[in-house]
Amino acid sequence: MRIVFMGTPEFSVPTLMEIVGQGHDVVACYTQPPRKAGRGMEERKSAVHQAAETLGIPVRCPQSLKSEEEHAALAELAPDAAVVVAYGLMLPQAVLDIPVHGCLNLHASLLPRWRGAAPINRAIMAGDAETGVEVMRMEAGLDTGPVYMAEKLAIGQDMTAGELHDRLSVLGADLMVRALAALPRGGLVPTPQAEEGVTYARKLDKAETRIDWTRPAREVHDHVRGLSPFPGAWCEVEISGRSERVKVLRSALDESASGEPGTLLSAGDELLVACGSGAVRLVQLQRAGKKPMPAAEFQRGAQLSPGTRLS
């Protein structure tokens, strides 16, 4: 089939690679324009942009898909279907109507739970025990279309957002190629989403990344792993007489310990911090300008003492 692929981040790349590997003719990749990033603020192409160039696929980076010119350019490609994976732009109805078999979206949640921008992070931060990937037929609304196919995945108690991201990206790629195989023979049956249980995975905000030690240990643990590795949950620690922002990238529950929230209960190879109820062990941390490190290595440099307050 003639496919137009629309995606931007690393999560989208396995699906693009699988579609190409299955022999589909990807006639163009639509992705977000290059953005300035890094210390030098140089423009960087998206992960999909880079992958498409490697594969020799034409790349388009429109700022918007609302103009008639963009509609005409897409129509000229005569796609049988469009595959959309974390593209980052809303598709107007005029675009949705162009592909013969419509636009298929891969979404990283079990809809209608966690519609929106950050379903992987939000599922972990909410303490969900299960999530998945779904292929749905796109509508003009935000992740409201009927579902064609789904695969579930258990979320381990200590699984981070990064680990879940990688598992779902591979699972989703396999699901999408199966959906494309069934599409031309009429093998996809759309199932409307349930009207109950709708939640929205709003975009992550820097203001919510700071750790609140007054919350129960399980919530603190879910907060840490839901923001790991990026943007990272953090707290302020006094090291060598200076307050320093430190990211906590991995933690472990210890609900039997207790103390004043934010207080370091033990300081050795393991760093145990009291929460509103219970405590968490800090497993992996990252100081500003340094690489992530195990708690024992962090402690050799920080030399924290029991009773230290993490603000």
Residue scoring higher pLDDT (25 or 288): 25
Question: Tens of pLDDT along 22-66?
Answer: 999 999 999 999 998 777 778 899 999 999 999 999 999 999 999
- What pLDDT, on the 0 to 100 scale, is given for residue 164? 98
For the record, the structure tokens of 176 come out as 């999408």
For the record, the structure tokens of 211 come out as 């750790």
- What pLDDT, on the 0 to 100 scale, is given for residue 9? 97
The residues near 261 (Cβ < 8 Å, ≥ 6 apart) are 213, 214, 274, 275, 276
Burial tier of 109 (Cβ tally within 10 Å: 0-12, 13-18, 19+): buried
- Got the DSSP string for 150-205? EEEEE--TT--HHHHHHHHHHHHHHHHHHHHHHTTTT----BPPPSSS--EEPPP-
Question: Tens of pLDDT along 151-202?
Answer: 999 999 999 999 999 999 999 999 999 999 999 989 999 999 999 999 999 9
DSSP state of 293: E
Question: Tens of pLDDT along 97-136?
Answer: 999 999 999 999 999 999 999 999 999 999 999 999 999 9
Provide the greatest CA pair distance for the chain. Answer: 69
Question: Tens of pLDDT along 223-241?
Answer: 999 999 999 999 999 998 8
Euclidean distance between CA atoms 206 and 193, whole angstroms: 31
Average pLDDT of the chain to the nearest whole number: 96
Q: Name the band, by pLDDT with cuts 50, 70 and 90, for residue 267.
A: confident
- What pLDDT, on the 0 to 100 scale, is given for residue 37? 75
DSSP-based helix, strand, coil % in the chain, nearest 5:
25, 30, 40
Q: Answer whether 130's CB lies under 8 Å from 155's CB.
A: yes
Question: Tens of pLDDT along 66-76?
Answer: 999 999 999 99
- What pLDDT, on the 0 to 100 scale, is given for residue 255? 85
Handedness of CA 67, 73, 74, 76 (dihedral sign): positive
Amino acid at 240: S
Q: Answer whether 128's CB lies under 8 Å from 214's CB.
A: no
Answer yes or no: is pLDDT of 211 > 80.
Answer: yes
- What pLDDT, on the 0 to 100 scale, is given for residue 269? 78
pTM of the model: 0.95
